Structures are given as structure tokens and as C-alpha cells.
Structure 1
């Protein structure tokens, strides 16, 4: 997308590596793809030295980009970092490295302002690019009739834990007279295939699996069951009443409770709730993520209009906190101002 935008505006641009070739998540993937990751890091270092840029703009992906930030700093190359590492959730030790290696941090969540300010890290906040992504989308209704959206996550482990509860929800809810005509639409994650979902769906005629339609599925759903992540913030921006669910293995949960800073300065796991520092929508975590809780919450989202209205009002506050439209363009303009003011190192 960025490459196409650059070319459309007459800016020479070339793709030399795609981030998906080195992206890893989880301990097993890190071990399996570690060598490839290191090769890509070394390739990028060589490319940077050959090109000798005035600035390197890093975007998200801290496992890779922090290595590049250190390298650029050692070679006197300015570093701008867009979409900051989520050190407010884990690995707070990275803040010392951000402060030392990054010339300017460009953050995308309002609650990050106070967090980074307290740690003496210079930042710029111009809003969140998801606002533009949602507002520029041309919505098309994916199915006829009323339905519940089911977003089971993007990793196989998430799908394996979320889909059984979602399918039991489809069975239990459709057995109630009020919901006899409802369907259930599963939004397939981009990195997954139909085979990742079909074993759970089985022969259910009232469940439909769709790919590349997540925004459409959310827009017209009466309610959504969402695995925690960016999708929960997208649902809030689109205006879909939701319940967020998250479950993992007992060992991983134990580690997460001790690594993630939930209960310290982080009270929630969902970005939307974090943005306004209150519960706009429920989070069913670990033992609370069970069919009885999910069923009760989905029914409440549909049947309790006052509850639904309060959630939508909180959604307006979430949207306001994200700073309006044009975030990426504002960030680009801020970067240009920084370069003109400071020049190269």
C-alpha cells in the first residue's frame, strides 16, 4: 500500500523485502524462523549503508526494527519510529533503547502520551490510521437477514480456542425463538485458509465463512464476538456492539499475567477500552470466556437497548480520542518538518 502510494505521487520506490517474509509470533515461530529474521536484518543493514539515507522510518514490528534502530544510531543515521512498540504492555526495558536510539517516536494511541512522557521519550501524536481505513471503506452488506459476526483471531491457536465456543453460541442462540432467523458469519483472517475454520463449522447451515470482508461483516452485524486485538478497535470505529474474548493455555496465561502489565497501569486488554480508560465493552478473559458468559452477553447486546446505547456512546468517545482523519498524512508532514528543522545527524 505504501509502495503504491509513493509511486502514485511520483516518488521513486522499490520493494526489496516484504515484512511478511520475516514476521514471527510466538516462541516456536521465533525458533523456526530465527535464521531468516537474522538474514533479513543483515540484508537491511547492508542496504541502509549502501543507500546512506538522511533518515530511516521504522513502522511497528519491534522484534525486527529495534535491531535496525540500534544499527542506524551507531552509524549516525536519524531514526523515526511510527507505531511505537507496546512497551506499556510488556518489555518495558525497551524504553531505554527507544530513548537512546530513536530521534522521534510517532505514537498512535492517546494513552501512550502520558506513558512515554513520564519516561522522558519524545513523541508526536497525530491520531490513528485505522480511522481513515474504516472511514474510506465502501461498505457492502455481506449477507441478507440478521446475523452475528464472529471474529476468532488470526492465529491457529486462537481459532482452536475461540471457534468451538462460537459454534456452540450459534447452536444455543438459534434455538431461541427470537433468534431463529439469525445466521452467524465468521470473518476469516487474511493469513488463514478455509481449512482452518471448516472443521469447527461442520455442516451448520446457519454459519457462513467469508474472507476479505471483515469491515462489511462488522458493519451490518447486530453484534460481534471478537478475539482481542486490532479487530476490537475496528469494531468500535465501525459501531458494532461487541464482546471481546481471549483465552490461551494455562501456562501462557500465567506467563502473560507476569509479563503483561495488566493490573498495574494497564487495566484492560482491548485497545478501545484502553483509549478511554473505562470499559466500553466487556472482556471475557480465560475462565470467563465460556459459552454461558458469551451467550448472556450477546443476548444483552441485542436485547438491552439502554446497554447498547451506552456502548455506542462510548464508541464516540473512543473515536474522538483517536484524533480524527488524516493521521498518516499528518505524521508524514511532521516528519518532513523534523528533517527540515534538524537536517541529517
Structure 2
């Protein structure tokens, strides 16, 4: 069959690639065309648009880039219409993908939505739109099934694809030696994959390095950027930027400072104590605080429904506060152990790998029964 996938950021690219691999196992002659990234491209098929040209987050940022976003939506609709896929798979990014879902319904194309929009966070009435334009919704967070039930919607819980990615990861035994990281404990800096995240967060992350001279700081570089982009923030600091090595970095890290997003859950699943940071446009954050009805922003805390990891948002995201929390994680044994104990409970809640295979099997089954 012909599969059209739409992913709009680094995590969606990873999940899309794993899903494509699982689909090929069930449908060896599968053809793929997609909005996505390098990982999906490595699985084969045609990349129509790279996510680095469409990753905007925040109310103000989206408004500022509205012409580009509308152009991307138009291109996606036209490309789907020309290619005539058998199966449409939308991955996260609801602002973009729900418009594509609505269009798909007008041309009689069934919509498979992988990784539920986070409608439980704000404006829950968007579920009514999802019910109207999505045929099959595949959820990856345990609490989402009950949430959708309260709205009279049956969804498929498939487990979390991060477990697949981590289970498939094979550590590089020469990693530390290759990058000259032997001798000091590592503090990993994960500033995100979008330009605005990196520019907002990386300066504060880097600024704490001088307070911990006994540790080696290492930045996880986003695949869509190169070294020279990071150099502008380093100001001569001896902090390596490693690309395509995040899991190797996390498998050796003693602690981490992590931009809120998928990476917080990945860091927890590698059992690395972390502080979660986020800083955005002042107006965007003000609007979010009015609209979002959540006690936490990190996936770790949301899944556990308690403050497992410290979240430093906006005005709290400072050199002093980040340093204070990192100091607790590396020097306060009791505090560190409490985080690790909570991580062990998180492992149990997350369940076993297999999300990609389960989702692929359901997509193929639903397509055969259409």
C-alpha cells in the first residue's frame, strides 16, 4: 500500500521512522511519501518537506509565521491529492495535522492519528473536532485512554514508542574515549531541537558550567543544525556539541538539564536525574498560563501525576536556579535517590516496548477493513 505520513518535529521524525520500519515488516512492498526528517528518509520513500522548515511553537511565534504555515498546509493537501495514498498517518503537531485530517475527510481518505494531540492540557473541546475528523487515534500516554472515554471516544493505547527506540539502542563502547570524555562525570545539556528553544535555553544552560568545574558538560546537538550554530552561544567555553549521539550521551550522563518536551521522558527512561527548563516569548507564556490547566509541563511529572523532576519555567529559568537544582541532583544523595526511585515507578507505568509494531498492525488491519 501507499502510506503518506506527516510529522513536523524531531520527535515525530523518530516515531515516524520507527513506525515505517514496523509497517515494512508487515507490508514489504510499502511505498512512503512524507513530511518529516532524516530518520524517516533513511527508512526509504520520498521526503516532501523537512520538519526544520515547519517547526514553530508558541502562540506568538505561530502568528508571526502564519503565511509560511498556511503555505505548508496547502502544499501538503495538494501533494496528498496528487499522490492518492491508501493510508494517511498524522503524527502529533495538531495545529497543522488536524487541518490535514479535515481535508482528508473531504476526499474520502481515512485518518490514522499517531500520538494524540495534547487536548487534555487546554481547550478540551477540541476533542469534538478530533471525533469528527480522525478515524483511528493511537495514544502513547497511559492516562489518555480514560480522558478520551470521558468524551465518549474509543482510542487505541499502543504503549510509548520511546520504549521501542531505547530498546533498539546499542551503546557505543568507545563513546567516552572517542569524544575524550574520560575522567569527569558528565552533565548533559539537552536544549531542544527548534531554533527558538535552543536560543532561549542554551545560554542559561551553558552559564552554569563554571560553577561545576569537576564535571564535564556536553551538549546534545539537534540533527537539523551544525556546529557553527552552537558556536555563537559557547563564547569559547570548552563544551563539546555531539550530534546523533543523544542516547549514548544519556547512557553515560550523571545528571542533565533538559528542555521541556519528549527529551524529558527519554532522560528519565535512561535513569538520569534531571532539571527541566523552559523559556519562551513572554506573551506566549502569559497566554499559556491562562489557558493551560495542568500542574506540570514535563511528561515525567504528568505521567506520574506528581513533581518527580524540578521544572524551572520562564522567570525561574536562571543560572542561579538551574545551578541550585543541579547541585542537589549531584551532591544530595537522598534527593538523587528519591528521583531514581520515582523513575523506577515510571518504568512500571510505561510498560513494555512494542508501540510501533502494535500501531503498524492496527493501521494495516484498519486499512484492510475499510
**Which TM-score bucket, shorter chain as reference?**
0.7 to 0.9
- Aligned-residue offset at 1:123: 0.4
1:39 matches 2:78? no
Count of aligned residue pairs for this structure pair: 327
Mapped to 2, the partners of 1:75 and 1:129 lie a distance apart of 30
What are the within-5 Å matches in structure 2 for residues 48-67 of structure 1?
A: 48=84, 51=85, 53=86, 55-67=87-99
- Aligned-residue offset at 1:281: 0.7
Alpha carbons 1:273, 1:281 under 8 Å: kept: yes
For residue 266 of structure 2, what is the aligned residue in structure 1?
234
What are the within-5 Å matches in structure 2 for residues 203-282 of structure 1?
A: 203-205=236-238, 207-259=239-291, 261=292, 264=293, 266-282=294-310
Mapped to 2, the partners of 1:201 and 1:236 lie a distance apart of 26
- What value does the CA root-mean-square deviation take over the aligned residues? 2.2
For residue 196 of structure 2, what is the aligned residue in structure 1?
157
For residue 54 of structure 2, what is the aligned residue in structure 1?
23
Correspondence for 1:169 among 208, 213, 221: 208
- Aligned-residue offset at 1:326: 0.7
**Counterpart of 1:197 in 2: which secondary structure?**
helix
**Counterpart of 1:306 in 2: which secondary structure?**
helix
What are the within-5 Å matches in structure 2 for residues 70-219 of structure 1?
A: 70-140=102-172, 141-142=175-176, 143-145=181-183, 146-174=185-213, 179=214, 182-205=215-238, 207-219=239-251
Distance 1:167 1:13, change over 3 A: same
- Aligned-residue offset at 1:309: 1.4
Q: 5+ unaligned residues in a row in structure 1: which ranges?
A: none
1:53-90 CA deviation, whole Å, 9 max, x = no partner?
3x533322323332332233334443221111111224
For residue 290 of structure 1, what is the aligned residue in structure 2?
318
Alpha carbons 1:45, 1:68 under 8 Å: kept: no
Mapped to 2, the partners of 1:218 and 1:283 lie a distance apart of 19
Q: In terms of mean alpha carbon deviation, does 189-198 or 65-74 score higher?
A: 65-74
Alpha carbons 2:221, 2:242 under 8 Å: kept: yes
- Aligned-residue offset at 1:114: 2.0
Distance 1:194 1:29, change over 3 A: farther
Mapped to 2, the partners of 1:75 and 1:38 lie a distance apart of 15
For residue 323 of structure 1, what is the aligned residue in structure 2?
351
TM-score by length of 1: 0.87
For residue 68 of structure 1, what is the aligned residue in structure 2?
100
Correspondence for 2:329 among 264, 276, 301: 301
Mapped to 1, the partners of 2:346 and 2:107 lie a distance apart of 40
Mapped to 1, the partners of 2:281 and 2:72 lie a distance apart of 28
Mapped to 1, the partners of 2:305 and 2:49 lie a distance apart of 32
Mapped to 1, the partners of 2:312 and 2:287 lie a distance apart of 18
Q: In terms of mean alpha carbon deviation, does 34-43 or 310-319 score higher?
A: 34-43
Mapped to 1, the partners of 2:345 and 2:49 lie a distance apart of 33
Alpha carbons 1:79, 1:102 under 8 Å: kept: yes
Mapped to 1, the partners of 2:98 and 2:265 lie a distance apart of 26
Mapped to 1, the partners of 2:90 and 2:225 lie a distance apart of 26
Distance 1:155 1:57, change over 3 A: closer
TM-score by length of 2: 0.81
1:286-338 CA deviation, whole Å, 9 max, x = no partner?
11111121111111111112211111121122222222111111122334444
Q: 5+ unaligned residues in a row in structure 2: which ranges?
A: 1-16, 34-45
Distance 1:67 1:250, change over 3 A: closer
Alpha carbons 1:56, 1:79 under 8 Å: kept: yes
Alpha carbons 1:187, 1:209 under 8 Å: kept: yes
